[in-house]
Chains A and B, each alone.
Chain A
Amino acid sequence: MTDLPETTDRKMGLVIDLDTCVGCHACVISCKGWNTENYGAPLSDQEPYGADPSGTFLNRVHSYEVQPETGPAQLVHFPKSCLHCEDAPCVTVCPTGASYKRTEDGIVLVNESDCIGCGLCAWACPYGAREMDAAEGVMKKCTLCVDRIYNDNLPEEDRVPACVRTCPSGARHFGDLGDPDSAVSQLVAERGGMDLMPEQGTKPVNKYLPPRPRDRWTDQSVLAPFLEPVAEEPRGFLAWLDRALETL
Chain B
Amino acid sequence: MGLSQPDLDTSPPVSDEVRKTTCYMCACRCGINVHLKDGKVAYIEGNRDHPVNKGVLCAKGSAGIMQHNAPARLRAPLRRVGPRGSGEFEEISWDEALQTAVDWLQPIRDTAPEKLAFFTGRDQSQSFTSFWAQNFGTPNYAAHGGFCSVNMATAGIYTMGGAFWEFGQPDWEHTKLFMLFGVAEDHDSNPIKMGLGRLKERGAKVIGVNPIRSGYNAIADDWVGITPGTDGLFILALVHELLRAGKIDLDYLARYTNAPVLVNLDPKSPEHGLFLRDEDGKPQVIDRATGKLAAFDKPRVRPDLAGKYRHAGVTHRPVMHLMAERYLDGKYSPEAVETRCGIPAARIRRIAAELAEVAFGDPIVLDREWTDFRGETHTQMIGRPVSFHAMRGVSAHSNGFQTCRALHMLQILLGSVETPGGFRFKPPYPRPVEAHPTPHSYTKPGSPLNGPHLGFPRGPEHLALREDGTPARIDKAFTWENPLSAHGLMHMVISNAHAGDPYKIETLFLYMANMAWNSSMNTRGVMEMLTDTDENGDYVIPRIICSDAYSSEMVAYADLILPDTTYLERHDCISLLDRPISEPDAAADAIRWPVVPPDRPGHAGVRGFQSVLCDLGARLKLPGFTKADGSQKYADYADYITHHQRKPGLGPLAGFRLGPKGLTDGKGDPNEAQLDSYIANGGFRQFHIAPEAAYFKPWNAAYQDWAVSMGFYDSPQPYLFQLYVEPLRKFQLAAEGKGDRQPPEHLRGRMKATMDPLPIWYPPLSDGHEDPVEFPIHALTQRPMAMYHSWGSQNAWLRQIHGRNPLYLPTYWMEKLKLRDGDWVRVISSHGSITVPCAHMAALNPNTVWTWNAIGKRKGAWALDKDAPEATRGFLLNHLIHELLPPKGDGLRWANSDPITGQAAWFDLRVRLEKSADPGESLPVFHAQGSPVPPAPGTLRWTVGS
The answer to whether B200 touches A19, judged by C-beta atoms less than 8 angstroms apart, is yes
The answer to whether A50 touches B842, judged by C-beta atoms less than 8 angstroms apart, is no
On chain B, the residues within 8 Å of A32 by CB distance are 62-63, 797
Nearest opposing residue in chain A for B355, CB measure: A226
* In the assembled complex, A183 has its CB within 8 A of some CB on chain B: no
On chain B, the residues within 8 Å of A152 by CB distance are 11
Which secondary structure characterizes the binding site on chain A? loop
> Which of A33, A153, A165, A232 contacts B55, CB < 8 Å?
A165
> Which of B244, B251, B868, B872 contacts A49, CB < 8 Å?
B868
* In the assembled complex, A182 has its CB within 8 A of some CB on chain B: no
Chain A interface: which of B1-9, B606-614, B704-712? B1-9
Docked pose: A106 CA to B310 CA in angstroms: 82
Docked pose: A170 CA to B447 CA in angstroms: 54
The answer to whether B219 touches A20, judged by C-beta atoms less than 8 angstroms apart, is yes
Residues of A in contact with B, size category = 35 or more
Task: State how many angstroms separate the Cβ of B321 from the closest Cβ of chain A.
Answer: 6
The answer to whether B215 touches A22, judged by C-beta atoms less than 8 angstroms apart, is yes
Task: State how many angstroms separate the Cβ of B242 from the closest Cβ of chain A.
Answer: 8
* In the assembled complex, A2 has its CB within 8 A of some CB on chain B: yes
Nearest opposing residue in chain B for A136, CB measure: B941
Docked pose: A32 CA to B799 CA in angstroms: 13
> Which of A22, A30, A153 contacts B57, CB < 8 Å?
A30
* In the assembled complex, B658 has its CB within 8 A of some CB on chain A: no
* In the assembled complex, B149 has its CB within 8 A of some CB on chain A: no
A241-B320 contact, Cβ under 8 Å, with A25-B786, A48-B937: yes
* In the assembled complex, B422 has its CB within 8 A of some CB on chain A: no
Contact with A along B215-254 (1 / 0, CB 8 A): 1111111110100000000000000010111110011001
On chain A, the residues within 8 Å of B5 by CB distance are 100, 102-103
The answer to whether B324 touches A238, judged by C-beta atoms less than 8 angstroms apart, is yes
Q: In chain A between 116 and 154, which residues have their CB closer than 8 angstroms to a CB of chain B?
A: 135-136, 146-147, 149-154
On chain A, the residues within 8 Å of B220 by CB distance are 214
> Which of A17, A54, A65 contacts B800, CB < 8 Å?
A54
On chain B, the residues within 8 Å of A17 by CB distance are 200
Task: State how many angstroms separate the Cβ of A140 from the closest Cβ of chain B.
Answer: 12
Docked pose: A242 CA to B58 CA in angstroms: 52
> Which of B217, B244, B250, B842 contacts A227, CB < 8 Å?
B244
Docked pose: A242 CA to B63 CA in angstroms: 60
Q: In chain A between 201 and 248, which residues have their CB closer than 8 angstroms to a CB of chain B?
A: 211-212, 214-217, 220, 223-224, 226-234, 237-238, 240-242, 244-245, 248
> Which of B328, B841, B940 contacts A234, CB < 8 Å?
B328
Task: State how many angstroms separate the Cβ of A82 from the closest Cβ of chain B.
Answer: 16
* In the assembled complex, A178 has its CB within 8 A of some CB on chain B: no
Docked pose: A113 CA to B8 CA in angstroms: 12
Task: State how many angstroms separate the Cβ of A120 from the closest Cβ of chain B.
Answer: 13
On chain A, the residues within 8 Å of B679 by CB distance are none
Q: In chain B between 473 and 521, which residues have their CB closer than 8 angstroms to a CB of chain A?
A: none
The answer to whether B247 touches A226, judged by C-beta atoms less than 8 angstroms apart, is yes
On chain B, the residues within 8 Å of A175 by CB distance are none
The answer to whether B45 touches A30, judged by C-beta atoms less than 8 angstroms apart, is yes
Task: State how many angstroms separate the Cβ of A12 from the closest Cβ of chain B.
Answer: 12
The answer to whether A217 touches B347, judged by C-beta atoms less than 8 angstroms apart, is yes
Task: State how many angstroms separate the Cβ of B424 from the closest Cβ of chain A.
Answer: 20
The answer to whether B246 touches A33, judged by C-beta atoms less than 8 angstroms apart, is no
Docked pose: A151 CA to B43 CA in angstroms: 16
Nearest opposing residue in chain B for A223, CB measure: B353
Docked pose: A245 CA to B241 CA in angstroms: 20
Contact with A along B25-63 (1 / 0, CB 8 A): 000000000010100001111101000010111111111
The answer to whether A232 touches B940, judged by C-beta atoms less than 8 angstroms apart, is no
Q: Which of B42, B56, B936 has the most CB of A within 10 A?
A: B56
On chain A, the residues within 8 Å of B213 by CB distance are 72-75
Nearest opposing residue in chain A for B799, CB measure: A53
Docked pose: A28 CA to B304 CA in angstroms: 57
Chain A interface: which of B188-196, B646-654, B747-755? B188-196
Task: State how many angstroms separate the Cβ of A97 from the closest Cβ of chain B.
Answer: 5
Nearest opposing residue in chain B for A151, CB measure: B11
* In the assembled complex, B801 has its CB within 8 A of some CB on chain A: yes
The answer to whether A154 touches B357, judged by C-beta atoms less than 8 angstroms apart, is no
The answer to whether B223 touches A215, judged by C-beta atoms less than 8 angstroms apart, is yes
Docked pose: A1 CA to B785 CA in angstroms: 43
Docked pose: A77 CA to B615 CA in angstroms: 49
On chain A, the residues within 8 Å of B243 by CB distance are 237
* In the assembled complex, A5 has its CB within 8 A of some CB on chain B: yes
On chain B, the residues within 8 Å of A96 by CB distance are 1
Docked pose: A149 CA to B10 CA in angstroms: 8
Docked pose: A2 CA to B2 CA in angstroms: 6
Nearest opposing residue in chain B for A34, CB measure: B43
The answer to whether A248 touches B328, judged by C-beta atoms less than 8 angstroms apart, is no
Number of interface residues of B (CB under 8 A): 113
Q: In chain B between 860 and 889, which residues have their CB closer than 8 angstroms to a CB of chain A?
A: 863-865, 867-869, 872
The answer to whether B305 touches A241, judged by C-beta atoms less than 8 angstroms apart, is yes
* In the assembled complex, A169 has its CB within 8 A of some CB on chain B: yes
* In the assembled complex, A46 has its CB within 8 A of some CB on chain B: yes
* In the assembled complex, A26 has its CB within 8 A of some CB on chain B: yes
Docked pose: A216 CA to B350 CA in angstroms: 11
On chain A, the residues within 8 Å of B347 by CB distance are 217
Nearest opposing residue in chain A for B216, CB measure: A22
On chain A, the residues within 8 Å of B942 by CB distance are 36, 42, 44-45
On chain A, the residues within 8 Å of B350 by CB distance are 217, 220, 223
Docked pose: A134 CA to B247 CA in angstroms: 63
Task: State how many angstroms separate the Cβ of B257 from the closest Cβ of chain A.
Answer: 14
Docked pose: A234 CA to B197 CA in angstroms: 42
> Which of A22, A100, A237 contacts B218, CB < 8 Å?
A22
The answer to whether A45 touches B797, judged by C-beta atoms less than 8 angstroms apart, is yes
* In the assembled complex, A189 has its CB within 8 A of some CB on chain B: no
The answer to whether A223 touches B218, judged by C-beta atoms less than 8 angstroms apart, is no
Contact with B along A29-72 (1 / 0, CB 8 A): 11011101110011011111111111101000001010100001
Docked pose: A110 CA to B877 CA in angstroms: 46
* In the assembled complex, A168 has its CB within 8 A of some CB on chain B: yes
On chain B, the residues within 8 Å of A94 by CB distance are 1
Nearest opposing residue in chain B for A170, CB measure: B197
* In the assembled complex, A21 has its CB within 8 A of some CB on chain B: yes
> Which of B46, B218, B250 contacts A23, CB < 8 Å?
B218
Task: State how many angstroms separate the Cβ of B509 from the closest Cβ of chain A.
Answer: 30
* In the assembled complex, B943 has its CB within 8 A of some CB on chain A: yes
On chain A, the residues within 8 Å of B407 by CB distance are none
Task: State how many angstroms separate the Cβ of B309 from the closest Cβ of chain A.
Answer: 14
The answer to whether A50 touches B45, judged by C-beta atoms less than 8 angstroms apart, is no
* In the assembled complex, B97 has its CB within 8 A of some CB on chain A: no
On chain A, the residues within 8 Å of B944 by CB distance are 37
* In the assembled complex, A199 has its CB within 8 A of some CB on chain B: no
Docked pose: A36 CA to B244 CA in angstroms: 60
Q: Which of A100, A227, A242 has the most CB of B within 10 A?
A: A227
On chain A, the residues within 8 Å of B8 by CB distance are 109, 146
Residues of B within 8 A of A (CB): 1-6, 8-14, 35, 37, 42-46, 48, 53, 55-63, 65, 71, 189-190, 193-194, 196-198, 200-201, 213-223, 225, 241, 243-247, 250-251, 254, 288, 304-306, 320-321, 324-325, 328, 346-347, 349-350, 352-354, 356-357, 360-361, 785-786, 794, 796-801, 803, 841-843, 863-865, 867-869, 872, 936-945
12 contacts between A and B (CB under 8 A): A26-B59, A26-B786, A44-B939, A53-B799, A53-B800, A114-B6, A166-B56, A170-B194, A217-B347, A237-B328, A241-B305, A241-B320
Residues of A within 8 A of B (CB): 1-3, 5, 17, 19-26, 28-30, 32-34, 36-38, 41-42, 44-55, 57, 63, 65, 67, 72-77, 94, 96-97, 100, 102-103, 109, 111, 113-114, 135-136, 146-147, 149-154, 157-158, 162, 165-171, 211-212, 214-217, 220, 223-224, 226-234, 237-238, 240-242, 244-245, 248
| A-B contacts besides A22-B193, A45-B800, 5 pairs, CB < 8 Å | A22-B196, A49-B865, A168-B57, A215-B221, A237-B246
Closest 8 CB pairs of A and B: A49-B936, A168-B193, A223-B353, A73-B842, A170-B197, A230-B246, A169-B197, A48-B796
